[in-house]
């Protein structure tokens, strides 16, 4: 079996070490800022969960759907929380289709350290837009992942797309 390495992921994981040494949670803190604040990557707030851009995306438009409740066990979610998380995921996919026209999506969760969760103390879902040919030699040979769109530009486009889809 061949192995593909993703060294950029270690930057993402390393960025949380100081937070893990405290009682702080970046997901519990993230939704406290307004969506309009450029320091915030949150693009949509629902009643029981919210959506934010991933600071270290695998592709442009990589979103996280996160419950407000600080939980790590999916079985600890109420039916209402799970229902809203899934509906918000579906809405987020519509928003990405509207704004970015991807050819497909990766959707899921890494639950627990052993499953690859960079932040294993606060459950979250990943939605990664995919395009035909979006993987090339750069990540595996050049140790570089090219994200072609600025994060703040992506944020503004997706906020506008949420407004359009929710009309």
Q: What is the pLDDT of residue 140?
A: 43
* CATH code reported for the domain at 25-134+148-165: 3.30.428.10
Q: What is the pLDDT of residue 58?
A: 85
Greatest pairwise CA separation for the chain in angstroms? 48
Q: What is the pLDDT of residue 150?
A: 81
| Calpha distance 47→140 (Å, rounded) | 40
Return the domain boundaries, the chain: 25-134+148-165
Q: What is the pLDDT of residue 2?
A: 52
Q: How many CA atoms lie within 13 A of 42 on its CB side?
A: 21
pTM of the model: 0.80
Q: What is the pLDDT of residue 149?
A: 64
Q: What is the pLDDT of residue 162?
A: 95
124 is catalytic: yes
Asked if 123 and 67 touch (Cβ cutoff 8 Å), the reply is yes
- Average pLDDT per block of 10 residues along the chain, 167 residues long: 52 50 81 92 97 91 96 96 98 98 95 86 95 64 54 92 94
Q: What are phi and psi of 18, to 5 degrees?
A: -70, -35
Q: Which of 62, 122, 124, 126 is catalytic?
A: 124
């Amino acid at each position: 079996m061949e192995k593909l390495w993703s060294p950029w992921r270690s930057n993402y994981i390393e960025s949380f070490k100081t937070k893990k040494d405290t009682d702080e949670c970046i997901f519990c803190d993230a939704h406290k800022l307004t969506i309009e604040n450029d320091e915030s990557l949150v693009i949509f707030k629902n009643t029981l969960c919210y959506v934010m851009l991933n600071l270290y995306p695998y592709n442009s438009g990589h979103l996280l759907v996160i419950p407000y409740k600080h939980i790590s066990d999916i079985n600890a979610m109420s039916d209402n929380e799970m229902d809203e998380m899934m509906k918000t995921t579906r809405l987020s996919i519509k928003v990405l289709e509207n704004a970015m026209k991807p050819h497909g999506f990766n959707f899921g969760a890494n639950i627990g350290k052993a499953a690859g969760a960079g932040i294993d103390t606060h459950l979250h879902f990943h939605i990664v837009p995919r395009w035909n040919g979006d993987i090339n030699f750069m990540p595996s040979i050049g140790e570089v992942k090219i994200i072609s769109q600025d994060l703040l530009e992506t944020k503004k486009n997706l906020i506008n797309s949420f407004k359009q889809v929710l009309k």
